[in-house]
Amino acid sequence: MKIKIEIKESGKANANTLLFVKKSIQFSAALSKKALTRAETILDGMEDGLFDDLDLLDLDDKPTIFVNAAKERGLTSLDQLRTAGFRLGKRARKKQMHCVSLMLADAAPEQVKAIIHGLHYSEYVFDRYKTKKQKSFEVTYEIVAQDNVKEFSKLAKEVAIEQASITLTRDWINTPGSDLTPVVFVAEAEKIAKETGLKIKVRDFKALQKEGFNGLVTVGKGSPSLPYLVTLEYKPTKAPKDVHLALVGKGLTFDTGGMSLKPASGMWEMCCDMSGAAAVLGAIRTIALLKLPIRVSAVLCLAENRIGSNAVLPGDIFTAKNGKTVMVDNTDAEGRLALSDGLAEAGLLKATHIIDLATLTGAMVRALGYAITGFFSNDENLSTQILESGTSACEKFWPMPLEEEYADGIKGKFADLQNIGADAGAISAALFLKEFVPENTSWSHWDIAGTAFVTKEWKYTTYGATGIGVQTLVELAKKLGG
Ligand code: BES
Ligand code: ZN
Ligand code: ZN
């Protein structure tokens, strides 16, 4: 599985591609007048149902794929271009086309970027466990850029870096729990640190106990694969002095629910419960390789939530890193306990902005489904920046309230706090996290339980991990870095 993207002034491929929205041809500078007239006839025919999306027809004596970039409902035009790129990539592979040229000279940079993203997405396959792997076949895409060769080449390189990170993130998430344990995840983080030159600090179980990171200790002690806290730091020389962005990820490599055991049906999907940590690792890899001018740290809260003779019991009370005591009412509400340590670590790093990503609640899945990530924030300005970053990244976000009326629900009877509330599951979880956010810090919590892992093919992602969060975090880092 491979694609090659070449940015050229003009195309020489054995097939052309024409992306269009309704009847208006979008990027047709490379076509002759005769071909333009014929293309219009074909597009008319498409409206009448004579031709279909992805039909291969002759234009200027060249086979040309007609891609309808306005097929899906509810997507922005950039996201439609991504899905168009995805469908084109699939078709090119199926038809065994070695070289396809895309006439994009008239396109805006963000449109070209969207199409290239789609082409990359069409390559993803998780076949590590299949005895029969997908046949290797390389497609070369020539992007006909005319005067924009330099600009488009730069962005193609950026997309390739970002997509490689997304692929890593998705692979980590799709890997079964017994093959991606906390210690294996640590090794993956070490690989990324080596590749990118990031500084890395790994705290093992002993260090966590010694330093009082008791959220992770409590959650992870029931498993033979013990918990870890991993911190990666990216500190470029050119960056605003007053901004330090910390990305904190929930990294439950598997969540059985613990003593408050989950039902058997669909439990296997809890291999996705480290999606927050995977996204955060993918994002800092991208940020470092793109050399973005902003200080960023990534904190991975790694543990496995298992039943075992050492596992935490409902009713157990522990003291969190910030000194607050917590009664574990339900061992399945473990993510917020693990994250309490990640938030504490972000405080020790003196982060000015903290974003945590977590597959935190089933309540969020029910509220917003697989297409929208619900987020919470204590800073309106940051909320606006997140929404804008999400739009650029084609990832949908929706602001949720940190409703104080529900705060009494997480007050503990014998301890300061308890880990589940009475009402509004996703909000209660966010209110719990708020108790551990260091003072005077802009913070946002992204509940990606619904959006990290999909149980059907959707847009340009296959069944399983979506890689949600990586791109929005990168866009946000660009914004905060100025
Ligand atoms: N990892 C789950 C949340 C989840 C649900 C992730 C669906 C992905 C898909 C989390 O640890 C959990 O079990 N939450 C409980 C909390 C409850 C016990 C208060 C939930 O939402 O059911
Ligand atoms: Zn759980
Ligand atoms: Zn969980």
pLDDT digits (tens, 9 = 90+) for 258-276: 999 999 999 999 999 999 9
333: which residues sit within 8 A by CB, 6+ positions away? 419, 420, 429
Residue 156: Cβ within 10 Å count: 20
More confident residue, 169 or 44: 169
> Using a 6 Å cutoff on CB, does residue 449 contact ligand 1?
yes
Three-state secondary structure call for residue 411: strand
Whether residue 460 contacts residue 121, with contact meaning beta carbons closer than 8 Å, is answered with yes
Integer Cα distance of 109 and 468 in angstroms: 22
Integer Cα distance of 280 and 27 in angstroms: 36
Ligand whose nearest atom lies closest to the CA of 361: 1
> Using a 6 Å cutoff on CB, does residue 359 contact ligand 1?
yes
pLDDT digits (tens, 9 = 90+) for 378-434: 999 999 999 999 999 999 999 999 999 999 999 999 999 999 998 999 999 999 999
Task: For residue 174, name the pLDDT band (cuts at 50, 70, 90).
Answer: very high
User: Which DSSP state fits 458?
Assistant: B
- Give the atom of ligand 1 at the shortest distance from the alpha carbon of 272: 8
Query: The dihedral of CA 325, 331, 335, 341: what is its sign?
Result: positive
pLDDT value at residue 46? 82
pLDDT digits (tens, 9 = 90+) for 327-363: 999 999 999 999 999 999 999 999 999 999 999 999 9
Single out the catalytic residue among 262, 324, 478, 479: 262
Query: Any catalytic annotation for residue 336?
Result: yes
468: which residues sit within 8 A by CB, 6+ positions away? 275, 279, 373, 395, 448, 451, 452
> Using a 6 Å cutoff on CB, does residue 345 contact ligand 1?
no
Amino acid at residue number 43:
L
> Which token pair is 161?
């870096």
pLDDT value at residue 482? 86
> Using a 6 Å cutoff on CB, does residue 356 contact ligand 1?
no
Query: Any catalytic annotation for residue 262?
Result: yes
Q: Whose CA is nearest to atom 22 of ligand 1?
A: 362
Q: How far is CA 79 from CA 113, 169, 357, 391, in A?
A: 11, 20, 23, 9
pLDDT value at residue 29? 65
- Give the atom of ligand 1 at the shortest distance from the alpha carbon of 420: 19
> Using a 6 Å cutoff on CB, does residue 448 contact ligand 1?
no
Q: How far is CA 137 from CA 123, 319, 378, in A?
A: 10, 55, 49
- Give the atom of ligand 1 at the shortest distance from the alpha carbon of 335: 11
* Substitution site in 274, 304, 305, 332 for ligand 1 pocket (most atoms within 8 Å of beta carbon): 332
Identify the structural domains of the chain with CATH numbers, from first to last. Answer: 2-147 (3.40.220.10), 163-481 (3.40.630.10)
**Interval between CA 132 and ligand 3 midpoint (Å):** 32
Task: For residue 77, name the pLDDT band (cuts at 50, 70, 90).
Answer: very high
Q: How far is CA 149 from CA 9, 20, 115, 153, 162, in A?
A: 6, 22, 16, 6, 20
pLDDT value at residue 389? 98
More confident residue, 185 or 37: 185
Three-state secondary structure call for residue 227: coil
pLDDT value at residue 112? 95
> Using a 6 Å cutoff on CB, does residue 437 contact ligand 1?
no
Integer Cα distance of 338 and 358 in angstroms: 10
pLDDT value at residue 1? 55
Amino acid at residue number 195:
E
pLDDT digits (tens, 9 = 90+) for 208-254: 999 999 999 999 999 999 999 999 999 999 999 999 999 999 999 99
Task: For residue 92, name the pLDDT band (cuts at 50, 70, 90).
Answer: very high
16 φ, ψ (degrees, to nearest 5): -105, 165
